[in-house]
């Protein structure tokens, strides 16, 4: 047995290469994040995840950004999920209906991914929709904290029913700033009191509801700490852990994003994130930096982090998507999902949703 390490890595293609296998067998590795480039078909994805699982015991965590709308890595043979903002628009008119749909989306999302041996998706987005952030945009449920919390809660209940844990992001809130942390270093100049009374409210409610994991933002809040939230002991240990009572997993956002570069080289970034309170750090779209990190990082995995990460393994799931498609509950759910945002006759599922992202960047 080889315990999970604190690093989550990505892959270059639709099959494992020798370099992939070497990295995934490294003691520091604990998980894999999949992108659109790793998907060709359900049968290919199934074979890929089975090979990843066979490399280690306990098996490496397998994750994906699969929120719906712009951020849905697997498209063909999967249900096209709507952007979460559409649920917020339904909430404004029919809150009960919006909550039912959120639950159905969570269940379909989880059941389809679990049928392909993916452990979890980095969802839900708990950022507030201030209308300022292009990178968040329609990924957010709503502008009102209560609407976000109630819709996210139902989505998470659906995920749980489908055998999947949940990851709330991007703590303490990325929706207020316009700058994209993929390409720059966003700075949110608001006071802590304003953030607490707004952006933190959905996170607090979801923590109270039993949220499994959280991903902090690569955003600097200088009136709280000079470091981005994902590298800040103030945000992660003092506020998130002690004041808000969160005891789940903290995943860093991608350490190769521009918003993380202020913390030094890749090893320094990982050490800073882990010291600040992250249980696992992500390194994506840069195999050279992944190798540098695996060679240079010295981090004994705390027992508490291992216990938290064990909760992220997926629970029992359908044997296959074929079996899932025979479930009448599934057929009913995808009919309801296919009507979201469509005002005319019901669309075929293949036309529901938005154009696929290129999968080249973390969300």
| Domain tally, the chain | 1
| Residue 253 a catalytic site member | yes
Here the tokens at position 326 are: 């025979």
The reported pLDDT for the residue numbered 118 is: 97
The one catalytic residue among 10, 253, 254, 279: 253
Q: Which residues pair with 34 in a beta bridge?
A: 64
pLDDT single digits (tens) 40-63: 999 999 999 999 999 999 999 999
CA nearest 317: which of 56, 62, 118? 118
Distance CA 300, CA 246 (A): 22
pLDDT single digits (tens) 152-171: 999 999 999 999 999 999 99
pLDDT tier for residue 183 given thresholds of 50, 70 and 90: low
pLDDT tier for residue 18 given thresholds of 50, 70 and 90: very high
CB neighbour class for 143 (10 Å; exposed up to 12, middle 13-18, buried from 19): middle
The one catalytic residue among 46, 182, 184, 291: 182
| 88 belongs to a structural domain | yes
Ranges of H-type helices in the chain:
18-24, 42-54, 85-93, 95-115, 145-161, 192-197, 200-209, 233, 266-276, 287-296, 303-310, 321-325, 328-338
The reported pLDDT for the residue numbered 357 is: 33
The reported pLDDT for the residue numbered 59 is: 97
The residue assigned the tokens 């998507």 is: 321
| 86 belongs to a structural domain | yes
Q: What is the mean pLDDT of residues 185-208?
A: 96
CB neighbour class for 247 (10 Å; exposed up to 12, middle 13-18, buried from 19): exposed
Least confident range from 61-70, 158-167, 176-185: namely 176-185
| 361 belongs to a structural domain | no
The reported pLDDT for the residue numbered 346 is: 39
Q: What share of the chain is helix, strand, coil (3-state, %, to 5)?
A: 45, 10, 45
| DSSP state for residue 184 in the 8-state scheme | S
Residue-range definition of the domain harbouring residue 261: 7-340
Q: Which residues pair with 283 in a beta bridge?
A: 9
Per-residue pLDDT at 85 exceeds 60: yes
pLDDT single digits (tens) 226-242: 999 999 999 999 999 99
Distance CA 36, CA 13 (A): 9
| 349 belongs to a structural domain | no
Beta carbons within 10 angstroms of residue 127's beta carbon: 27
Distance CA 28, CA 19 (A): 15
pLDDT tier for residue 353 given thresholds of 50, 70 and 90: very low
pLDDT tier for residue 347 given thresholds of 50, 70 and 90: very low
| Residue 186 vs residue 64, higher pLDDT | 64
Q: What is the mean pLDDT of residues 329-345?
A: 84
Show Cβ contacts of residue 295 under 8 Å, excluding neighbours closer than 6 positions.
none
| Residue 182 a catalytic site member | yes
Mean pLDDT, the chain, rounded, equals 92
The reported pLDDT for the residue numbered 181 is: 64
CA nearest 211: which of 240, 179, 175? 240
Distance CA 298, CA 314 (A): 28
What values do phi and psi take at 31, rounded to 5? -165, 170
| 293 belongs to a structural domain | yes
pLDDT tier for residue 32 given thresholds of 50, 70 and 90: very high
Here the tokens at position 150 are: 């109630």
Distance CA 234, CA 225 (A): 7
**Is the distance from CB of 110 to CB of 54 less than 8 angstroms?**
no
CA nearest 251: which of 81, 146, 122, 94? 122
| 106 belongs to a structural domain | yes
| 360 belongs to a structural domain | no
CATH number, domain of 157, equals 3.20.20.300
């Amino acid at each position: 047995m080889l315990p999970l390490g604190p690093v989550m890595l990505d892959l270059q293609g639709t099959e494992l290469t020798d370099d992939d296998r070497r990295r995934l067998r490294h003691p520091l590795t604990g998980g894999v994040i999949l992108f659109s480039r790793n998907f060709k078909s359900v049968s290919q994805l199934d074979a890929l995840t089975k090979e990843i699982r066979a490399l280690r015991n306990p098996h490496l965590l397998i994750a994906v950004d699969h929120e719906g709308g712009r951020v849905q890595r697997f498209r063909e043979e999967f249900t096209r999920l709507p952007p979460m903002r559409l649920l917020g628009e339904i909430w404004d008119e029919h809150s009960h209906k919006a909550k039912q749909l959120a639950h159905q989306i969570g269940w379909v999302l989880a059941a389809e991914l679990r049928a392909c041996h993916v452990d979890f998706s980095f969802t839900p987005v708990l950022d507030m929709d201030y209308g300022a952030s292009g990178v968040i945009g329609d990924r957010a449920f709503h502008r009102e904290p209560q609407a976000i919390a109630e819709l996210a809660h139902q989505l998470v209940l659906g995920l749980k029913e489908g055998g999947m844990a949940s990851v709330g992001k991007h703590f303490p809130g990325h929706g207020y700033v316009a700058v994209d942390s993929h390409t720059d270093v966003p700075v949110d100049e608001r006071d802590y009191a304003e953030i607490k009374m707004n952006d933190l409210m959905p996170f607090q409610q979801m923590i109270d509801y039993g949220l499994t994991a959280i991903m902090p933002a690569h955003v600097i809040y200088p009136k709280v700490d000079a470091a981005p939230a994902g590298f800040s002991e103030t945000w992660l240990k003092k506020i998130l852990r002690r004041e808000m009572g969160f005891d789940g997993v903290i995943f860093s956002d991608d350490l190769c994003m521009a918003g993380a570069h202020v913390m030094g080289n890749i090893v320094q970034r990982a050490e800073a994130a882990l010291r600040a309170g992250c249980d696992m750090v992500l390194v994506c779209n840069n195999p050279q930096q992944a190798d540098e990190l695996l060679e240079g990082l010295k981090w004994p995995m705390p027992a508490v982090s291992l216990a938290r990460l064990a909760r992220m393994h997926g629970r029992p799931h359908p044997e296959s998507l074929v079996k899932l498609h025979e479930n009448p509950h599934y057929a009913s759910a995808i009919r309801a999902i296919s009507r979201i945002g469509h005002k005319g006759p019901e669309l075929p599922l293949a036309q529901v949703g938005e154009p696929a992202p290129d999968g080249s960047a973390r969300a």
